[in-house]
Amino acid sequence: MPCNQGCKDQIIHPQAHNASDKPRRVYIRTYGCQMNEYDSLKLERLLQNGYERTDAPENADLVLINTCSVRDKPEQKLYSLLGEMKELKERRPEMLIGVGGCVAQQEGEKIIKRSRAVDFVFGTHNLSVVPSLINLRRSGAAPQVAVDYRDEWEELPAGFVESERVSVFISISRGCNKNCTYCIVPTTRGPEVSRPMEEIEREARIALHRGAKEIVLLGQTVNSYGRDLSPKITFVELLERLSRLEGLKRIRFTSPHPQEVREDFFELVSSNPKVCRHIHMPLQSGSDRILKLMNRNYRRAKYLSIIEALKERVPDIAITTDIIVGFPGETEREFQETLDIMEQVQFDNSYSFVFSPRPGTAAAEMKDDLPHSEKLKRLQILQAKQDEILQCKLTSWVGQEVEVLLEGPSAADPAKLQGRTSQNFTVNLVDQYPVKSGDLVQCRIRESARYTLKGELCGEPETGGAAQ
Ligand code: SF4
């Protein structure tokens, strides 16, 4: 549906100040995946000339809610949050509320009809019109809806990039052509569209110029990148090209799809020193019958062969995954097959959830008579197994020397620094050292904690422009 006031697809900076000439403040609440976090950062950037960010919604002149429809009960969560925001708005009538993300894309105008507190709704392809929607609303126009699908990538302000971070997200594609039966992403984000390589490279260069040392490439299925471009380019070619950028220390990406893994992927991971020794490869289920019902176009043998090849070529590689428990019709034996794969692969970590039907997906229509309590029980068993494996993995690093990219103050003790290993484990430095964020340092792991490692510095740091 087009914006109902016909606002143009262009970037208009919202008025920088309110009547009392104080800077306006924006509160952004983000749900969901890294793609949504990235979109929220884009919003922050788009509004930077008019707004400063606040963490307190009660002080905000503008509230943006970036929704996710992947997890449980997304609409309920949105309307309950809108209920809270409505009370704040009653106290501060000048406050504007905008709803974006996947739920906004799906629900569109329904959100405005259901909640009178909402001033505008913007879809997953409509971030760049948010400043225009704000201006229209502030100048007295009716509540706005902008959820048009667009093929092309949106125009963003020149130099858009996350600033002053050691590790930055860069989106390389959006949408998905896979149609897994439980997933709403192909509906909310549309078919897969690759971003032109030059654009990605430009964003990476700016990030590196501002002090980034690591880039994390984002896409629903990163390894199908480039097939829709002309001329075609492969994901591996993109990585090779980016890895040559001056100042770049590391590249990560999430998530590759097992069906799209080719020989050149193994070559790259094993031979390019800038590509991190960590692959997040969604499994979803260890049962072939469930994988088929999910429309995941690989089977357990194929998945296992990929992991085997990765481990053979890169023995210290870390593998993480996503798992859905209690998919409609999942039997006890099929759940055991998932546990068997966990045992076999020894995942370094996994993100697991109980199946939750998304209206509009094929899986939501499937017969599902397994009690929720049984699904929860299975989830607990699976997560307990994962915790056990993780503890062994963390312990196995004790005594080893690892390379750590320092990212900022430690969450446990802000006077000290923390960073991550190539395998994506967090390492907290045990002391204060003459090093800074952005340095690549050698650490000896002294001990492991529940989810992290503790290390002492050894050797000289590789410096080169601190991010902070
Ligand atoms: S690959 Fe499947 S789960 Fe992932 S975004 Fe595409 S449809 Fe959804």
Domain boundaries, the chain: 24-146, 167-396, 398-457
Rounded to the nearest angstrom, the distance between the alpha carbon of 186 and the centre of ligand 1 is 7
C-alpha to C-alpha distance for 356 and 70, rounded to whole angstroms: 9
**What was the pLDDT predicted at 466?**
44
185 lines ligand 1 (CB under 6 A): yes
Three-state DSSP string of the chain: CCCCCCCCCCCCCCCCECCCCCEEEEEEEECCCHHHHHHHHHHHHHCCCCEEECCCHHHCCEEEEEECCCCCCHHHHHHHHHHHHHHHHHHCCCCEEEEEHHHHHHHCHHHHHHCCCCCEEECCCCHHHHHHHHHHHHCCCCCEEECCCCCCCCCCCCCCCCCCCCEEEEECEECCCCCCCCCCHHHHCCCCEECCHHHHHHHHHHHHHCCCCEEEEECCCHHHCCCCCCCCCCHHHHHHHHHCCCCCCEEEEECCCHHHCCHHHHHHHHHCCCECCEEECCCECCCHHHHHHCCCCCCHHHHHHHHHHHHHHCCCCEEEEEEEECCCCCCHHHHHHHHHHHHHHCCCEEEEEECCCCCCCCHHHCCCCCCHHHHHHHHHHHHHHHHHHHHHHHHHHCCCEEEEEEEEECCCCCCCEEEEECCCCEEEECCCCCCCCCCEEEEEEEEECCCCEEEEECCCCECCCCCC
First-to-last CA distance in the chain?
Answer: 43
Separation of 140 CA from ligand 1 center, angstroms?
40
What is the four-CA torsion angle of 117, 119, 124, 128, rounded to 10 degrees? -150
Q: How far is CA 213 from CA 202, 246, 272, 377, in A?
A: 15, 10, 16, 42
Q: Report how far residue 447's alpha carbon sits from residue 425's, in angstroms, rounded to the nearest whole number.
A: 13
Least confident of 35-44, 194-203, 385-394, 438-447: 35-44
Non-local (6+) Cβ contacts of 391 within 8 A are 448, 450
Pocket of ligand 1 contains residue 179 by CB under 6 Å? yes
Q: Which atom of ligand 1 is nearest to the CA of 183?
A: 8
Give the pTM.
0.83
pLDDT band at 72 (very low <50, low <70, confident <90, very high): low
* Interval 275-289 mean pLDDT: 98
How far is 111 from 417, CA to CA, in rounded Å?
A: 44
C-alpha 394/C-alpha 421 separation (Å) is: 12
**Distance in Å, CA 183 to ligand 1 centroid:** 6
CATH no. for 24-146: 3.40.50.12160
Distance of CA 296 from the midpoint of ligand 1 (Å): 9
Cα separation, 171 vs 185, in Å, equals: 15
CA nearest ligand 1 atom 8, residue: 183
Q: Which atom of ligand 1 is found nearest the CA of 189? A: 5
The answer to whether residues 354 and 375 touch, using CB atoms and an 8 Å cutoff, is yes
The best mutation among 69, 173, 177, 180 to test binding of ligand 1, ranked by most ligand atoms within 8 Å of the C-beta, falls on 180
Q: What is the mean pLDDT of residues 396-404?
A: 97
Q: Is the confidence at residue 7, as pLDDT, over 50?
A: no
Please, are residues 191 and 175 in contact by the beta-carbon 8 Å criterion? yes
Mean pLDDT, the chain, integer? 89
Write out pLDDT tens, residues 134-178: 999 999 999 999 988 776 666 655 555 556 789 999 999 989 999
Average pLDDT, integer, range 118-134:
91
Say if residue 5's pLDDT is above 50.
no
Which atom from ligand 1 is nearest to the alpha carbon of 176?
6
8 A C-beta contact, residue 259 and residue 267: no
Q: Return the ligand 1 atom nearest residue 255 CA.
A: 4
Ligand 1, atom 2, lies closest to the CA of 180
Closest-CA residue, ligand 1 atom 1, reads: 178
Report phi then psi at 231, rounded to 5.
-70, 155
What's the gap in Å between 266 CA and the centre of ligand 1?
Answer: 22
Query: Chain-centre distance of CA 387, in angstroms?
Result: 22
Per-residue pLDDT tens digits for 322-362: 999 999 999 999 999 999 999 999 999 999 999 999 888 99
Across the range 306-312, mean pLDDT stands at 97
The predicted-structure confidence for 353-399, as pLDDT tens digits, reads as follows 999 998 889 999 999 999 999 999 999 999 999 999 999 999 999 99
CA of 179 to the centre of ligand 1 (A): 6
Cα(282)–Cα(410) distance, integer angstroms: 29
Q: Hey, what amino acid is at 216?
A: V
Q: Is 77 in the pocket of ligand 1 (CB under 6 A)?
A: no
**Residue whose structure tokens are 């093929």:** 151
Angle at 110 between CA 109 and CA 112, to 5 degrees: 65
Residues 93, 60 contacting (CB under 8 angstroms)? no
Judged against a pLDDT cut of 50, whether residue 417 lies above it is answered with: yes
Query: What are residue 96's DSSP bridge partners?
Result: 62
Determine contact, residues 183/190, Cβ cutoff 8 Å. Answer: no
Kindly state if the Cβ of 176 falls inside 6 Å of ligand 1: yes
pLDDT of residue 412 exceeding 90, the answer is: no
Nearest Cα residue to atom 4 of ligand 1: 220
| pLDDT for res 8 | 34
d(CA 152, ligand 1 centre) in Å? 21
| 398-457 belongs to CATH 1.10.1840.10 | no
**Per-residue pLDDT, 465:** 46
- Region 91-119 average pLDDT: 91
Please calculate the CA angle 259-260-261 and round it to the nearest 5 degrees. Answer: 100
**Which of 437, 442, 440, 438 lies closest to 455 in space, CA to CA?**
442
pLDDT for the residue numbered 1: 36
Ligand 1: which of 68, 102, 178, 290 to mutate, most ligand atoms within 8 Å of CB?
A: 178
Q: By mean pLDDT, which of 83-97, 371-385, 442-456 is the weakest?
A: 83-97
In angstroms, the CA 196 to CA 229 distance is 7
Determine whether the shortest distance from the Cβ of 186 to ligand 1 is under 6 A: yes
pLDDT band at 3 (very low <50, low <70, confident <90, very high): very low
- The two three-digit tokens of residue 13, written as one number: 């900076």
What fold is seen in the domain 167-396? Answer: pyruvate-formate lyase- activating enzyme (3.80.30)
Contacts of 356 (CB under 8 A, 6+ apart): 71, 72, 73
d(CA 11, CA 327) in angstroms, rounded, equals: 43
Mean local confidence (pLDDT), 272-290: 97
pLDDT of the residue at 464: 55
